[in-house]
Amino acid sequence: MAPRRDPSPLRWLIGVELSRYREATGLKLSEVAEQTGMSRAKVGHLETGFQQQDPDDITTLLTLYRVERRDLDRITALTTCADETTWWAPWAKVLPDWLKTFVGLEGLAEAEFIFEPMAFPGLLQTADYATAITAETPRVRPDHGERVVNFRLARANRLTDPNRPLRLHAVIGEAALRLAVGTPEIRRAQVEHLIQMSTLPNVTIQIVRPEDGFHTAMSGRFFMLDFEQARPIVFSELHDGAVYIQDQEQVRSYKLSAENLQRVALGPEKSVALLRSMLKARE
């Protein structure tokens, strides 16, 4: 079987924007090709990200779609950004294709919202917790476990990047605090790490408990990525794959769920107080 060939996350993101605007006009690929002089295949490859997107081509397409100037400039500017996809290259052989795309997009994002009802988010895991939880999953080969853990820790470097730290807002279900991962010492160190991470100015952590009441994210975990020059995208992980939600009405519904979660969950200060009380109870 031929190896899968994926576009870079940056080109994928640009392609998503191009496709949205074309579909909004009701134009088919063949009609765009006829009106711009590009081949149908080229227009399609620009939308899928399989072809390098030249600013002139982007301008031609968006002008045809009658896109407002500020959005035209925003998307054209994306083509001049550095493509930050190579940081995960040392782990390329142990990562599934869908995860490569996600972490590439995460590297481009300015902010991320995470809802994790059952476990601590990967960005906030200690090495020992990540090792313990990786050892329990059949999705990671035993001989790949150490490399996957190293990848998770490298991914978390965005939170402490002095030049461009990722703004993270995580809402974590109380069940994650009680999930039996590794030894009691590992779980205690994980809670201590969570408290320490909450002191970062770019990290907000909230805990949601059953007694806090109903919230609108009962369907489970999701991630929402916000970009400086592109519209938000929602990522939902499946058992062996992922779904990227790009339709802005659907994204808006997830945004409303994120806002609802933030209202229902304990505030950041009370959440840290709960974490500290758990540590004290375990002494």
User: What is this structure's pTM?
Assistant: 0.76
pLDDT of residue 145: 59
Residues 266, 271, 277, 281, CA torsion sign: positive
What is the rounded CA–CA span in Å between residue 82 and residue 11? 11
**Cα 67-71-76 angle, rounded to 5 deg:** 105
Q: pLDDT tens digits, the chain, 283 residues: what are they? A: 333 345 577 788 888 889 888 998 999 999 999 999 999 999 998 988 877 888 889 899 999 999 998 888 888 877 776 555 456 666 667 777 767 778 878 888 899 999 999 999 999 999 999 888 877 665 666 666 576 778 878 888 889 999 889 999 999 999 999 999 989 999 999 999 999 999 999 999 999 999 999 999 988 899 999 998 788 889 888 766 678 888 888 999 999 999 999 999 999 999 999 999 988 877 6
What is the rounded CA–CA span in Å between residue 136 and residue 67? 49
Give the burial string for 115-133 (b: 16+ CB within 10 Å, else e): bbbebbbbbbbbebbbbbb
Instruction: Match 């074309």 to its residue by tokens.
Output: 22
Domain ranges in the chain are 9-78, 93-281
233-238 and 241-245 strand pairing: antiparallel
CATH of domain 9-78: 1.10.260.40
Reduced to 3 states (helix: H, G, I; strand: E, B; else coil), residue 46 is helix
Largest CA distance in the chain: 72
Topology of the domain covering 93-281? Endonuclease; Chain A (3.30.870)
pLDDT of residue 3: 39
Q: Using CB atoms within 10 Å of the CB of residue 196, give its burial: 0 to 12 exposed, 13 to 18 middle, 19+ buried.
A: exposed
pLDDT of residue 142: 62
pLDDT of residue 4: 39
The reply to whether domains 9-78 and 93-281 share a CATH topology is no
What is the rounded CA–CA span in Å between residue 167 and residue 157? 12
First vs last C-alpha separation in the chain: 55
pLDDT of residue 89: 65
Q: Tell me how far CA of residue 269 lies from CA of 120, 236, 266, in angstroms.
A: 18, 28, 8
